[in-house]
Structure 1
Amino acid sequence: MLLGLFVVLGAIVYVGIQAIEPALIYRPDRVRTQPQEVGLEGVQEVEIDTPDANAVLAWWSRAAAGRPTVLYFHGNGGSLANRADRIARFQRAGIGVFMMTYRGYGGSMGKPNERDNVRDGRRAFDYLIAAGLKPDDIVVFGESLGTGVAVQVVKARQPRGLILDSPYTSMLDLARLHYPYLPADWLLNDRYDTMAYIGDVHVPLLIVHGGDDRVVPVEMGRAVLAAAGGPREMLEVPGAPHVNHEDFGTLDAIFAWIARLYGVPPGA
């Protein structure tokens, strides 16, 4: 009798902490916004079909002739609309951007989780191929949470290069760092274990990381760099915070890296 009560109580506690996980990892803005509403011209909203009928949205700004397209996986907060300024910078550089949002974000259907985010990321890559791009035309870009998606997509596909903005070693490592009082091993189903995949990534890699990042310590970026399986370099930005470091000239450095990758002049 008492044992049965403990089992029931344990199950309740387990279900409760499992319910916490989405709130810890995913912080979506669910409002569907059109690119023109945030001042973007020449950007098309597209829907990526999925087998479970949960359509996933993306914004697509096509590349100038002879320029690559960045397949972009954003961070855990906000939506596509929050990245409008970044999309505009890529546009001015002539670089295409295909920015996918996750399930439950900004008009995409369903609920976000690692398995579906990665599968949808592969579908986004395949969407570009079906639209006429070649793998060599694509550079995959991961921002914060999106770095864990990007690494797994690149392992499964072979783009020209990979850019990781503020990568973590794993979501479990981050949870242990920021929530040491929580049973992270029980709590997290979505591990985004970058270190388990990065050694199988052999395309050229650029890591950009703020030296004053209080969310994902720069030491994690260094660990990812050391474990990468192909040509790699890292831009550490002294004094820069997590992700929001355009004022430190990081986008110009990213454009220059892409230019070297393709042997073309860097954009604006």
Structure 2
Amino acid sequence: MADESENLEETVCGFIKEPFVFWTWNRLAGKPDLAAAGRMPNAEAITHQTRDGRLLHGYRLKSARPGSGFVLVAQGNAMLADQLLPELGLLAQAGLEVYVFDYRGYGQSEGKRRLKAMVSDYRELFDRLAAANPGPRYLYGISFGGIVLLNLVGSGVAFDRAVIDSTPSRLSNYGCPEKYDPVVNLPQDASRFLIVAGGRDMVVPPKDSRELRDLVKSRGGRVELEPDFTHPFMDADFGIHRARLESIKSFLLGPGEAGPPSSR
């Protein structure tokens, strides 16, 4: 359980703004599909109890090759975990154990929708998965999920590779503390990062991720600014959508070994 003196669900981005913004995005995310796991033979519903007693609901997509590593996925803040299962199946087919959870306050997950709590939750999830799964440790952050996972990286976890797709450079522009900014949490060695941005993205336009892209490139990471990409999982052309996922899969899985896990 959390220390009684620590309130994980306190607002850090404005007493009115933060709850309202998350409420709006949660409404857009819709209701969970409770039958989603039953439609995929390798999917199972799982839960995690946080240190302050909230129950998070998520999914595991089983790999055909146990021990090949896992990928922890953090989705956008207008998405639910079950909505990603069919596409994430590509990573499971390639040999990874895939884990994706609804943020607290989303879907079936308990608790208040708060940035501080979500960042804490993903540190817990990563630590749990790293202890239980042998092999490489991968991260895949989508839009807001990239903010969450870069804060995870900034906390000092050891990981092998990370994909950050369509994530803004800063959150402090919206009234949040600078310590949550993606550019603040990027390690000096960014060689294990792939940053993806779409030239047609109207949700996170390229200008909003430019600082992060430039920083990643200057620190040895890989950057893909694709003129035909829109926001993740919003590409109208299935061929473009598939190419995006294939690029992400290829970066995470090869070629070759990623080497010892990196930490900040």
| Bin for the TM-score computed over the shorter chain | 0.7 to 0.9
Distance 1:172 1:247 in 2: 35
Give the letter for the 1:154 counterpart.
V
1:79 lines up with 2:73 in the alignment? no
| Alpha-carbon distance change, 163 to 261 in structure 1, aligned in 2, over 3 angstroms | farther
Q: Distance in 2 between matches of 1:100 and 1:18?
A: 21
1:234 corresponds in structure 2 to 223
Give the whole-Å Cα distance in 1 for the aligned partners of 2:143 and 2:53: 27
Query: SS at 1:235's partner residue?
Result: strand
Note the 1:192-207 alignment, pairs <5 A: 192-199=180-187, 202=190, 204-207=192-195
Asked whether the equivalents of residues 43 and 60 of structure 1 are also in contact (C-alpha less than 8 Å), the reply is: yes
Aligned-residue offset at 1:190: 10
- Which has a greater percent of helix? 1
1:251 matched residue in structure 2: 245
Instruction: Report 1 or 2 for greater relative contact order, CA contacts < 8 Å, sequence distance ≥ 6.
Output: 2
CA spacing shift, 1:215–1:40, aligned 2, 3 Å: same
Q: How does 1:144-159 map to 2 (within 5 A)?
A: 144-156=143-155, 157-159=157-159
Deviation at 1:34, TM superposition (A): 4.2
Of 199, 202, 226, the residue aligned with 1:214 is: 202
Matches within 5 A, 1:1-16: none
Partner of 1:6: none
Task: Give per-residue Cα distances to partners, 1:78-97, cap 9 Å, x unaligned.
Answer: 31121122122222222221
TM-score, normalised relative to structure 2:
0.78
Q: What does 1:25-104 correspond to in 2, within 5 Å?
A: 26-27=26-27, 28-31=29-32, 33-37=34-38, 39-65=39-65, 67-104=68-105
Give yes or no for contact 2:71–2:98 (8 Å, CA) kept in 1.
yes
* 198-207 or 231-240, which deviates more: 198-207
- Give the letter for the 1:74 counterpart: Q
1:167 aligned partner: 167
Alignment RMSD (CA, Å): 2.7
How many residue pairs align between the two structures?
A: 236
- Where 1:124 maps in the other structure, the secondary structure is helix
Mark the runs of 5 or more structure 2 residues left unpaired by the alignment: 1-13, 259-264
Q: Aligned-pair distance for 1:236?
A: 1.6
1:110 Cα deviation from its structure 2 partner: 0.7
Q: 1:15 to 1:233 in 2, by over 3 A?
A: closer
The aligned counterpart of 2:6 is none
Quote the residue 2:211 is aligned against.
223
Task: Measure, in 2, the Cα distance between the counterparts of 1:190 and 1:19.
Answer: 19
Query: Aligned equivalents of 1:222 and 1:191: distance in 2?
Result: 19
Deviation at 1:199? Answer: 4.1
The gaps in structure 1 that reach 5 residues or longer are 1-13, 176-184
Letter in 2 for 1:82: Q
Conservation of the 8 A alpha-carbon contact between 2:189 and 2:220: no
| Higher CA-based Rg | 1
Identity of aligned residues (%): 22
CA deviations over 1:141-180 (Å, ceiling 9, x no partner): 100010000101122211101110101012343x5xxxxx
